[in-house]
Amino acid sequence: MTTATLPILEAAVLVVVAPLCGVALAGRRLRCAAPAAALFAAVLTLSALWTIVALGWSAAGGRTLVSYATIGTVGFALAAVGAWFGSVWRDPLDAAACSVGIAMLAGFGIFAVGPLAANLPTPVVNAALIASPIVSAASAAGVDIFRTDLLYRISPLAHGRFDYPAWFTPLAAYGTVLLISLAGTARALRKGWL
């Protein structure tokens, strides 16, 4: 792993961990939400600082900040989805399975479709790229992830037409998911579904 790939790895971990954290927090009626959010923000800040120091501000400062802003928004959004599902479902295992399943579909779906990706229309591919936190984090960090050696060899995507999302598109998309999920969680907790 190199410094440039750190945000990609962190995004991949978040796809699984963030919804689970959200479900766990919902089980405690979000009592630990504020410290957990502060801890997450602190870890991301440290990671971003370390990346900037390693790569240099002039070389990658702006890209690193955008990349970590994307990761932060994605992390909060996926945790909020987990919290929403955790506050609606009685069984936390159902909530965990559902929220992690959705997050993994968004995160890894475009990689998992394999050769089928070659036949997908470009707008569908582009939408899937926006939905994937891994692609979004990589793109924001300036990493052309589908033309890295392994993916270029095994994925048909790099051999067809696609456009990486502009940096603000995933931020806006996951920001919207965050707001909707927070509203859903608040409504569920008010109604006392848990």
Partner 1 sequence: MTRSVFVAASLCVVLFAPLTAGQRAGSGAGGLSPTTRQELMKSLSSGAAYLRAQQSAEGTFDANPGVSAVAATALLRQPGVPKEMLMDAGGKRSLDAIVKLAKPDGGIYDKVIPHYITAVSVMALVAGGRPQDKPLIEKGRAYLAEHIWDEGEGVKPTDKWYGGIGYGGSDPNRRADIISLEYALRAMKEAELPANDAAWEKAIKFLQRTQNNSETNDQGWASNDGGFVYYPGFTYHSDGGTKSYGSATYAGVISYAWANVKKEDARVQAVRKWVRDNYTVDENPGMGQKTVYYYYLVFAKALQAVGQPVIVDAKGRSHNWREDLAKKLISLQHPEGYWVNTDKAELQDNKVLVTAFTMQAMEATLQP
Number of neighbours of residue 72 by Cβ within 10 angstroms: 20
d(CA 65, CA 55): 12
Q: Which of 27, 61, 160, 184 is in the footprint of partner 1 by CB under 8 A?
A: 160
Q: Enumerate residues 128-157 that contact partner 1 by CB under 8 A.
A: 141-144, 147-150, 152-153, 156
Question: Is 89 among the residues that bind partner 1 (CB under 8 A)?
Answer: no
Dmax (CA) of the chain: 51
DSSP string for 85-114: HHHH-SSHHHHHHHHHHHHHHHHHHHHHTG
Q: How far is CA 77 from the centre of its chain?
A: 8
- Mask: binding to partner 1, 44-73, rule CB under 8 A, as x and -? ----------------x--x----------
Q: Which of 32, 53, 114, 159 is in the footprint of partner 1 by CB under 8 A?
A: 159
Q: How far is CA 114 from CA 76, 111, 120, 125, 150, in A?
A: 29, 6, 11, 12, 13
- Mask: binding to partner 1, 163-182, rule CB under 8 A, as x and -? -x------------------
Residue 65, token pair as written in the block = 């900040």
CB of 95 to partner 1, least distance (A): 36
Question: Is 161 among the residues that bind partner 1 (CB under 8 A)?
Answer: yes
CB of 62 to partner 1, least distance (A): 12
Interacting residues toward partner 1 by CB under 8 A: 2, 4-5, 60, 63, 118, 141-144, 147-150, 152-153, 156, 159-161, 164
